[in-house]
Structure 1
Amino acid sequence: MRSIALIPARLNATRFPEKLLMPIKGKSVISRTYESAVNTELFDEVYVVSDSDRIIEEIDKIGGKTYKSQKEYESGTDRIAELAANMDADVFVNIQGDEPFVQKSPLQKLLQVFEGDYGKSTQVASLVQRLKDPELIADPNFVKVVLDMRMNAMYFSRSPIPYWRNKNFPISYYEHIGVYAFRKKALMDFVEWPMTPLEIAEKIECLRFLENGVPIRMVLTQYMGVEIDMPEDIARAEAYLEQMALQ
């Protein structure tokens, strides 16, 4: 199965501008993301897709593959679709540029849901992990997802979902990790559809698939590292690297 990883990279993030160029122990966030994806050895090709010359230059310095997008896009999925339209692969994987510690095992499990007879029906898949910290469950920067009995996403929200009314019944909260995998047709359909009402309201791009009736298969994984959303996440990322060095 031919798979290609595409890393959308926007320079001016709303909450933390230029975060992808911020150093984590001497190496930028986007460089660490690219190298982590390559080092999994799961992909036939890995590209960073950006409209920023500075990000392109950053990846060029480490000998990485880049593509400069020709337009400005609202979402990373829209951005990578411009390149994917002219590429052949069984599965395209969207790895967010602010995920500097992506690991092989979760990505391998993500690709496996497209394999075999069972996987033929899978059009879109993504990753989740259990979320236990009450502060993070309440934090709108952590996107939550509720799942059906077959591990398909029912809804994504920045609000704590489900609402835990019956305290006598234990429930699990799941955080959506911003890594997606698509069949090419699903990716091309996504960019043809207009933004949907819930997507606009929540600012969560994958809701566009659900609102158009396309199921998203979710894959449960362990924590993949530290996602860089806010300035304080740089210190968390450096602490994470120190912890990994001790193991």
Structure 2
Amino acid sequence: MRTVGIIPARLQSSRLPEKLLLNETGRPLIEYVWQVAQQCTALDEVIVATDSPRIQEAVTSFGGRAELTGEFPSGSDRVADIARRCCPDADVIVNLQGDEPELEVATIDSLVTTLRESGAEMATVAAPLSDVDAIQSPDCVKVVVSDNGNALYFSRSVIPFPRGTSVADTLKAATATPWLLHVGLYAYRHDFLLRLTSMEPSTLEELEKLEQLRALQTGASIAVTVIPEAAVGIDTPEDYAAFVKRETSRSR
């Protein structure tokens, strides 16, 4: 099964402008994810899909492949454009997030294995969530998974909802948290990705502002691989400063 990893890399970011080019560590942020992807035995090729000649130049400078795309409403659409134009022979397309520099190789390999071994059209990742504020925050997307490992629903709301008690009390009483944080990493069967991105946004997707609900609402299956801990994404200046501090400590 030919598997291609594609990293959508938009130049502009509302909370942290041009974050993928930040290089206080001596390397642009985008390079970290590219290097992790390069180490994955499950990926046959890695391509950066970008709207910016500056990002393309940065990727080329460290030996990567970057393809320019037009303007698209989402990263998934950008990934689909490259999948269609540059790797029509691929069986599986993995959508990697360029702002997760501490992503684990094992997470990507596990995701691809999950899709290959399932009958699902796509697969994604989740991690146990036990922080009360995060569970209740609409910025943290939660997922509920069936006994066969497929996603039942994704939501910004608290799902499952602990009726008759609180999130905090549920966590205290449970031996393991019942909440899973959705990690925005996806693997698609090539043809399904092209079909999905050709569809209009669904009603649930527009309500929750979650692209993956389009797939569920069409009746598609999303297999979920659960990892011990989620990587930290870089969304704000504070996130990046903390990453630089961790990276500096690791390099000493």
- Scaled by the length of structure 2, what TM-score is found? 0.88
Residue 134 of structure 2 corresponds to: 136
Within 2, Cα distance between the matches of 1:244 and 1:197? Answer: 45
RMSD of the TM alignment (CA)? 2.0
The alpha carbon displacement at 1:245 in A equals 5.5
Kept in 1: contact 2:31–2:59 (CA 8 A): yes
**Structure 2 stretches lacking a partner, 5+ long:** none
Per-residue CA distance 1:19-64 (angstroms, 9 max, x = gap): 2122352222211111121123431110000111121111111111
| Cα distance in 2 between the residues matched to 1:145 and 1:240 | 29
In structure 2, C-alpha distance between the alignment counterparts of 1:208 and 1:239, rounded to whole Å: 38
AA aligned opposite 2:138: P
1:150, CA displacement in angstroms?
1.6
1:233 maps to which of 236, 239, 250? 239
**Residues 242 and 175 from structure 1, CA distance in 2 versus in 1: closer, same or farther, beyond 3 angstroms?**
farther
Q: By how many angstroms is 1:224 displaced?
A: 4.4
How many pairs does the alignment contain?
Answer: 242
Q: 1:158 matched to which residue of 2?
A: 156
How far off is 1:96 after superposition? 1.1
3-state SS, counterpart of residue 115 of structure 2? coil
Aligned to 2:76: 77
**Residues 77, 162 of structure 1: CA spacing in aligned structure 2 closer, same or farther, 3 A cutoff?**
same
User: What's the offset of the Cα at 1:242?
Assistant: 5.1
Alpha carbons of structure 1 residues 140 and 239: separation in structure 2 relative to 1, 3 Å = farther
Alignment partners' CA distance in 2, 1:10 and 1:83 = 14
Matched, 1:110 2:108: no
Give aligned-pair identity as a percent. Answer: 36
Paired AA for residue 79 in structure 1: R
Does structure 2 retain, via aligned residues, the 8 Å contact 1:226–1:236? no
Look up the SS of the partner of 2:211 in the other structure.
Answer: coil
Closer, same or farther: CA 219–14 of 1 in aligned 2, 3 Å = same
Task: Report the residue type matching 1:133 in the other structure.
Answer: D
Q: Kindly indicate whether the alpha-carbon contact (under 8 Å) linking 1:42 and 1:104 is maintained by their aligned counterparts in 2.
A: no
The verdict on how the C-alpha distance between 1:162 and 1:224 changes in structure 2, with shifts beyond 3 A counting, is: closer
TM-score by length of 1: 0.90
- Which one is further off, 55-64 or 35-44? 35-44
Q: Say whether 1:210 aligns with 2:216.
A: yes
Match of 1:35 in 2: 35
User: Which whole-Å CA distance do the structure 1 matches of 2:123 and 2:219 have between them?
Assistant: 14
Partner of 1:184 in structure 2? Answer: 190
1:62 aligns with 2:68: no
Structure-2 separation of matches of 1:100 and 1:134: 25
Q: Does the 8 A contact of 1:56 with 1:68 survive in 2?
A: yes
**Ranges in structure 1 where 5+ consecutive residues have no aligned partner:** none
Rounded Cα–Cα distance in structure 2 between residues aligned with 1:111 and 1:173:
23
| Residue aligning to 1:89 | 90
Q: Which amino acid aligns with 2:76?
A: T
| Per-residue deviation, residues 70-97 of structure 1 (Å, max 9, x unmatched) | x211111110111111311121100011
Which residue is 1:16 aligned to?
16
Deviates more, 1:232-241 or 1:185-194: 232-241
2:126 touches 2:230 (CA, 8 Å); kept in 1? no
| 1:153/1:244 CA distance change after superposition, 3 Å | farther
Output the amino acid matched with 1:213: G
Residue 174 of structure 1 is matched in structure 2 by 180
